[in-house]
Structure 1
């Protein structure tokens, strides 16, 4: 793929166009200079999620979690490790369902932790329950084939 792709900055939410060949070169936001592929999963609100789903052309894996959820806190390091392994082919984000309660009904979330994989704004897979990094990487790879 030689065409530029669109990516929303995880910090300032500016829409960026990046040549596909430069994805692995640690591109930064044209507006705020923040890394477009941060070392750790970035935080989303519902409004930010909407923007990423509308604009991004790189798959996005979102961990829907809450601070009171023990399995969610246990999975956080594995999610961060999987993020390091899969960047820049997949972006990883976290959304606190306690702070963004409308998201729960919108995505019909019945339990957390829940990861949902989006590609070009569409949900392509979801997986409830805590997972280790290897399982997350394998699961994402399985659903992005083809």
Structure 2
């Protein structure tokens, strides 16, 4: 898991050699705090095949605008800087896992 901000987002996310799951969240957001442990667990299990990057929506308006974030948590799955899919709102762990794994390139589960 890595934290990113407006200044280093390109280097951390767009230049990643593996798919990136961006979690746009805020410390005051209850659903964000609820989903965070499941995201961290999933990222740990998929280490080497998926990078989890957390971005505080309040402190990073450029990233929030880039993805049109209007509600948090917003999860954005990217590959080589291109959006693969977006999930708005918190999901239970098993649904998060299914969503992410179904969108990863073949063989990277």
TM-score strictly above 0.5: yes
Count of residue pairs brought into register by the alignment: 106
- Stretches of structure 1 that go unaligned for 5 or more consecutive residues are 1-40
- Stretches of structure 2 that go unaligned for 5 or more consecutive residues are none
Q: In structure 1, how many angstroms separate the alpha carbons of the residues matched to 2:18 and 2:105?
A: 14
What CA RMSD, in Å, does the superposition of the two structures yield over aligned residues?
Answer: 1.4
| Larger RCO: 1 or 2 (CA < 8 Å, sep 6+) | 2
Which residue of structure 2 lines up, in the alignment, with residue 112 of structure 1?
Answer: 72
Larger Rg computed on CA atoms: 1
1:54-94 superposed Cα distances (whole Å, 9 cap, x missing partner): 42110010100011111001111111111111111111110
Q: In structure 1, how many angstroms separate the alpha carbons of the residues matched to 2:13 and 2:40?
A: 21
1:28-73 superposed Cα distances (whole Å, 9 cap, x missing partner): xxxxxxxxxxxxx211112221112342110010100011111001
Provide TM-score, normalisation by structure 2: 0.88
